[in-house]
Structure 1
């Protein structure tokens, strides 16, 4: 039975995480994986070429040699493993799984701060630091989403936790209380 894309990503992501952790190069491999993901998303033809069943292994290897220049031997070995087992089509999902394992290990969370107006980097950082302190995390990386319909305040969503401090929600609660009292 063939493995699903999620199973492949989970297995390979866990394997890379364990390998990097055992070799005490976890932070370095993490940084390199993020750079690789950026490069692959900017140039998706890299994955197309390296997962093309028609292209010979020798040609794929020469392309991979050019791609992996500058990466650590751990990352190079991992990329060669993916090539050998024809798993390059799953590379972005594997990187995402690896990052999830890394974030769990380092107690880092990612989330979205929805606001009526755009927040600057300092405001996002302070909001993330405040959330991290409250929920015993080392860091929270926030992405800002602008939604003028919330009128003001912030709706913060990190993992499965949502903190709704929007003006719209507060007004709706007041409205509901007034209706209940009548």
Structure 2
């Protein structure tokens, strides 16, 4: 047994390191939970829209290529899907930020940063408001894309029908 162990100095150091490691692990689990709960369902929906769009786009390449109007709609839909994907990533970042602020705001009284808790709680509320706004924006955009894809499909079929006549 070395001198530090005999004096009991090593035990608190190990305990502190273990606490720090546990805190980092908990934060990592919380961040993963945010991704699972928030980002993944939105990204799944985005991928579903992409598949739907790819199927529709594959209906009649020749007709789409001949029609500048259809090409414009196609590009608009692609742009909207990219925008949703970016907004989803932003939403995940905001959720993580909110959880980190919330966790920090629950500091024990007497800690050095305890006086910042009310400000942190206000920041949490502000981030929560941003999150809700982004979620509404994403849902509205997804609905609009779905409508646009259906209209695109109808337009392709109408153009193809004209071509056959």
Higher helix share: 2
What's the TM-score once normalised by structure 2's chain length? 0.25
What's the TM-score once normalised by structure 1's chain length? 0.23
Higher strand share: 1
- Greater relative CO, 1 or 2 (CA 8 Å, sep 6+): 2
Higher Rg: 2
